[in-house]
Chains A and B, each alone.
Chain A
Amino acid sequence: MSMILTIATREFKSLFLSPLAWTVLAVLQTILAYIFLTQVETFNLLQPKLATIDGALGLADIVITPLYSNAGIILLLITPLLTMRLICEERRHKTLSLLLSAPVSNVDIILGKYLGLLGLLVLAILMITLMPLSLLSGGSLDNGKLIANLLALFLLVTAFTATGLYMSTLASHPAIAAMGTFGILLLLWILDWSAGLQEQRSELFEYLSLLRHFQNIQSGLISSVDICYFLLFTASFMVLSIHRLANERLQK
């Protein structure tokens, strides 16, 4: 356990030694701040009309949900760039042998790397959350909605990171890992687009789609099906990563 933390802390700190983490946080925050302000403006325009309708959309629906949806899409683009180096670069720079010859298990290495990077993404999510929280100074929020959105985005990045980590254990070059991760994630993201075509609906595709489960949780409908989907998704890629790292010693 302490080894996992040691590796995770090192990974987290190392991210901030290069400009990458700072750039990612800055870009993410800037784009989302712009989206946030646009949504707040939209709400201001609509508010007089909405006030007259009973049970109409609230602040949370107009500002928070789009904000987190967009955050999800941007993270879909960014996460592969962060995860690509995790194992791949260690292998390229031959630093992996430091971990492999130390008394740490493959599980420690994979979990440590995973948690270290997840730390950065959680930090990003928290920074995004500061924006809706700032609305509290001038009004009230649907807290349930906010928490549902937070949970949805968190589960989404756990899945993104696990996929990226696995691709990083496979690839021999970081760019390939990034491309592979991006491909898998985007495919799973758009998989339920076929659902729009009535005759060609596939329940399997709908179940596999990341977007579908993400939106379900976002809407505030927190069901065990969606939570289990993300947990299973993450766990599968983690197990695959550990397995791949174990194979590292067998074949070269």
Chain B
Amino acid sequence: MAILINAEHLSRYYGKHCAIKNVSFTLTQGEVLGFLGPNGAGKTTTMQILSGNLAPSSGRVEINGYNLQDQAKLAKRSLGYLPDTPPLYKDLSVQEFLYYCAQLHGIPKKTIAFAVIKAQERCGLISVSQRLISNLSKGYQQRIGIAQAIIHNPDVIILDEPTVGLDPLQIREIRDLIRELSHDHGIILSTHALSEVQAVCSHVQIIHQGQLILKESIVDLNQKMDTGSVLISTRLKPDLTVLRALAGVLSIEAISDLQIKIAYHLTDNPTSRIIGTIISSGWELQELTPLKKSMEDIFITLTQDND
């Protein structure tokens, strides 16, 4: 897989205040990297540096192999960026605006009309294409911002809080769009909605007080979230001694007569044996829920540890 973004030791100071400190990471094709952090953690600063809007105090960024500082034009060719406030000229119509963006990104004249229509289609803007941007709702404006970032089919797409201000249906559409785009692009998106990361990202990176404190794939993260316990409800009272005797079971906590919590070894998951025992003993299984730490829990533990 081609490395699309290579950020090395990025630091950024505003006067004496340090916004990000020694941040390094890479993004490869097909990855959707979720940038997660509380307010003021340095998400937007990092995004601005990656998009060439802000020069880092130290460190370097390579996009598609081109240094963002020295070969800015070449590097920016493969970059689509949606800032936290969508950069829209409000006195233009959607179509005019996207046409201008296409021109700015150097799309050949013959294919501009096609690119504009394609971007409008992808972001659901066809029905409003003739309307003035200033008259459209926040949700539509956000979508125009996304359309603007993907119109030239860039290798790297940077989205700063792409689903802010959208209704649940629109959020789902945008997430579908991101998933679709992720097949042949590398995407970085920042958010503080943890569910969003779980929904669309393949990797997650948590930034706190300007420093990266976690970089993990979602699969690994999900494993980490496994607490090694299940919650079980039955219709008749089970015999706890029988269950405790099963291999892998560590302890059983009875929450009520009909509800128990079983902790087990992470290496030896006894869930299927538990189910088998309950059914063959005729206790009638009603519910079995693997207990997981929520993303919130992980987030909070990580950010509080570093305080």
Contact = CB atoms under 8 A, between A and B. Distances in A.
Interface of A: 3, 6-7, 10, 14, 17-18, 93-105, 249-250, 252
B252 interface: no
B73 A97 contact: no
A95 B103 CA distance: 16
B150 interface: no
23 contacts: A6-B100, A6-B104, A10-B100, A14-B89, A14-B92, A94-B85, A95-B89, A97-B81, A98-B87, A98-B101, A100-B52, A100-B53, A101-B51, A101-B53, A101-B79, A102-B101, A102-B105, A103-B73, A103-B77, A103-B104, A104-B73, A249-B54, A252-B14
A104 B165 CA distance: 30
A14 B100 CA distance: 12
Interface of B: 14, 48, 51-55, 72-74, 76-77, 79, 81, 83, 85, 87-92, 100-101, 103-106, 148
Given A3-B106, A249-B54, 20 more contacts: A14-B89, A93-B87, A94-B83, A95-B88, A95-B89, A97-B51, A98-B101, A101-B53, A101-B81, A102-B104, A102-B105, A103-B104, A103-B105, A104-B73, A105-B73, A249-B52, A249-B53, A249-B55, A250-B55, A252-B14
A86 B97 CA distance: 17
A102 B51 contact: no
Nearest to B45: A252
Contacts of A252: 14, 54
Contacts of A96: 87
A3 B73 CA distance: 12
Contacts of A102: 76, 101, 104-105
B160 to A, nearest CB: 10
Given A95-B89, A252-B14, A3 B51 contact: no
Per DSSP, chain A at the interface is loop
Contacts of B103: 6
Contacts of A6: 100, 103-104
B87 A103 contact: no
A8 to B, nearest CB: 12
B102 to A, nearest CB: 10
Task: Give 5 closest A-B pairs by Cβ, nearest first.
Answer: A98-B87, A103-B76, A102-B104, A101-B81, A95-B87
Contacts of B51: 97, 100-101
Contacts of A18: 91
A1 to B, nearest CB: 12
Contacts of B76: 101-103
Nearest to A247: B55
Contacts of A10: 100
A105 to B, nearest CB: 7
A14 B91 CA distance: 8
A103 B14 CA distance: 26
A17 B14 CA distance: 38
Contacts of B81: 97, 101
Contacts of B83: 94, 97
B104 A99 contact: yes
> By CB atoms of chain A within 10 A, which of B72, B83, B87 has the most?
B87
A151 B176 CA distance: 59
A6 B106 CA distance: 10
Contact of B104 (A17, A94, A98): A98
Contacts of A98: 87, 101, 104, 148
Contacts of B148: 98
